[in-house]
Amino acid sequence: MNIYVELNKIIEYVEEHLEEKIELQEISKMIGMSEYTFQRIFSIISNVSFSEYIRNRRLSNAGQELYLDKEKIVDIAIKYQYNNATSFSRAFEKFHGIKPSQVRKNPEKLKMYTKLHFNERYECNKNIDYKIVEKEEMTLYGENIITTNMEIRKVAPKFYKEHENKYGEPPYGMVEYYDKERRFVKAYWVMYDKQIIKKMEKVVIPKSRWIQIKINSQKPEEIQNTSEIFYKEFMPNAKYNFRDLPELEIYHDNVTDFLIPIED
């Protein structure tokens, strides 16, 4: 299966159903993944969450229709799956920067959010050596910073270095994924085996199975490159589903164990 061909099919499905309710369960079945796995893969590959992509496409179309077709605001709101004109107007203004009622006087301010298209010729041919491991429950302590797919390359090394300078080298890094206001974002953590200062948060990671990839380096760019290859090339074509847990980085003996939680 070419994951990028399948994603383009999903994009076409979304285009055909923008005026209808789009069920994530149905989408995930189309691509043969769990709902959580599909959302995580989509957000990493496209740098936008699936729900945000749908919302942006709807609001982009709504702006054009309000100007060109001169439809009523309430009709457009209902057409694009908003419960009422108020919630639609709020989302519309946040996206376009103007109220729906101002469109005809200020059409130049409308934003165009174009349909995604994935490169189907993208070659997924890099081999990744990995093994499946099971780890018992872990209790760690640390702090986090909120970031995104685009920003984490700069944010994570700086955040790690700050803690290394203050408290000594953290033996663990952790990346947590969650949906905040319909946007898939990341929390990058630096973690220790014990609570060094009171403000460090206790995090209990339950017993789980993990894909473990050994990276013969602790350099941020090499860890990030491996992560990118994993998410863009290996995982979309694998048969595993993610478990809704953070991914871990364990630093030891000048290597990094990159751990991704999977369902049993």
Q: Is residue 114 part of a domain?
A: no
Q: Mark which of 43, 78, 109 sits at the end of a domain.
A: 109
Whether 121 maps to a domain, the answer reads: no
Say whether both 62 and 93 belong to one domain. Answer: yes
CATH number of the domain that residue 248 is part of:
3.20.80.10
Give the ranges where 17-120 is alpha helix by DSSP (H): 24-31, 35-46, 50-68, 73-79, 85-96
Residue-level pLDDT at 179: 62
pLDDT band at 231 (very low <50, low <70, confident <90, very high): confident
The C-alpha atoms of residue 209 and residue 241 are separated, in whole angstroms, by 11
83 and 151 housed in the same domain:
no
User: d(Cα 186, Cα 130) in Å, to the nearest integer?
Assistant: 24
User: Helix, strand, or coil here: 172?
Assistant: strand
Encode 9-20: b = buried (16+ Cβ within 10 Å), e = exposed: ebbeebeeebee
Q: Is the pLDDT of residue 45 over 90?
A: no
- Does 187 share its domain with 240? yes
Nearest to 7 by CA among 233, 236, 230, 241: 236
Question: 47: domain range?
Answer: 3-109
Judge whether 207 lies within some domain. yes
Question: Please, which residues have CB within 8 angstroms of residue 139's CB and are 6 or more apart in sequence?
Answer: 202, 203, 204, 205
Has residue 201 been placed in a domain? Answer: yes
State the pLDDT at residue 49: 87
Q: What pLDDT, on the 0 to 100 scale, is given for residue 182?
A: 44
Same domain, 207 and 96: no
Q: What is the pTM of this model?
A: 0.80
pLDDT per residue as tens digits for the range 211-230: 999 999 999 999 988 988 88
Least confident of 3-7, 57-61, 95-99, 256-260: 3-7
What one-character DSSP code corresponds to residue 204?
A: E
pLDDT score, position 50? 92
Residues 77 and 194 in one domain: no
Q: Do the domain assignments include residue 239?
A: yes
Mark whether 96 and 187 lie in a shared domain: no
Q: Which of 32, 58, 55 is nearest to 179 (CA)?
A: 55
Lowest mean pLDDT among 21-35, 121-135, 188-202: 121-135
Specify the number of domains making up the chain.
2
In a domain, 164, yes or no: yes
Residue with more model confidence, 57 or 182: 57
Do both 46 and 165 map to the same domain?
no
pLDDT of 184 above 70: no
Using one digit for the tens of pLDDT, what is the confidence trace for 152-161?
Answer: 889 999 999 9
Separation CA 22–CA 50 (nearest Å): 11
Q: Which of 152, 141, 166 is nearest to 220 (CA)?
A: 152
Considering the domain architecture, whether residues 87 and 152 belong to the same structural domain is answered as no
- Asked if residue 125 is part of any domain, the answer here is no
- Give residue 125's Cα distance to chain centre: 23
Kindly state whether residues 143 and 234 are assigned to the same domain: yes
Answer yes or no: do 139 and 247 share one domain. Answer: yes
Same domain, 147 and 248: yes
- Residue 142 shares a structural domain with residue 251: yes
Give a yes or no: residue 122 inside a domain.
no
For residues 197 and 143, what is the distance between their CA atoms, to the nearest angstrom? Answer: 10
The domain that contains 78 carries what CATH number?
A: 1.10.10.60
What does the DSSP assignment read for 72-85? -HHHHHHHTT-SSH
